């Protein structure tokens, strides 16, 4: 019940706190504080299943309660992160990234597709130290390996091995970060 209250508070008030930055000087040091970020972080810690420390959740993002967000990771502005997504630590996510954890059913020809419902939920796993570019689409059941980079606009339909650089639609590995080649 408490989780639901925080979720409602988040939706109602998240847009009331734009990224209001202020600079505070204390004992000769300057600190850059985002009031909106602190507020979103506070509410997120009470909404989602597991929320790491120092997370960054940008404005207008939609996320389910049953997600995991690791330490020092971020959800970009206008991202959609439904239940069933696990995001590791130190993950950077550009704006407008969309995760799909299930698809429409369409195997029966005698029933309109819109009436066939949805398939099973297939969780998505983003391992540690991953960078996901702007407007990437990640499809059900995908795992993106540790240390990978996914280029802007990619459609990720298959698992990405660790330390890969992958781009395109469909997303393909173009190089490996360990040896700078494939």
Kindly list the catalytic residues. 104
Beta strands in the chain (DSSP E): 21-26, 29-34, 50-51, 56-57, 62-63, 68-69, 74-75, 80-81, 85-87, 92-93, 98-99, 124-126, 131-132, 137-138, 143-144, 149-150, 155-156, 164-167, 172-176
Q: What does the alpha-carbon distance between residue 161 and residue 46 come to, in Å, rounded to a whole number? A: 33
């Amino acid at each position: 019940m408490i989780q639901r209250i925080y979720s409602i508070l988040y939706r109602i008030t998240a847009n009331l706190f734009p990224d209001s930055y202020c600079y505070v000087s204390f004992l000769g040091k300057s600190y850059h504080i985002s009031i909106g970020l602190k507020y979103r972080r506070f509410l997120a810690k009470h909404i989602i299943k597991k929320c790491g420390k120092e997370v960054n959740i940008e404005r207008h993002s939609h996320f389910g309660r049953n997600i995991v967000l690791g330490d020092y990771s971020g959800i970009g502005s206008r991202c959609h992160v439904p239940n069933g997504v696990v995001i590791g630590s130190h993950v950077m996510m550009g704006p407008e990234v969309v995760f799909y954890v299930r698809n429409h059913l369409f195997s029966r020809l005698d029933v309109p597709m819109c009436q066939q419902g949805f398939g099973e939920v297939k969780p998505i796993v983003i391992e540690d130290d991953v960078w996901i570019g702007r407007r990437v689409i990640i499809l059900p059941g995908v795992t993106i390996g540790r240390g990978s980079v996914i280029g802007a606009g990619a459609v990720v339909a298959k698992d990405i091995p660790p330390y890969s650089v992958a781009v395109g639609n469909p997303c393909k590995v173009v190089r490996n970060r360990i040896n700078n080649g494939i």
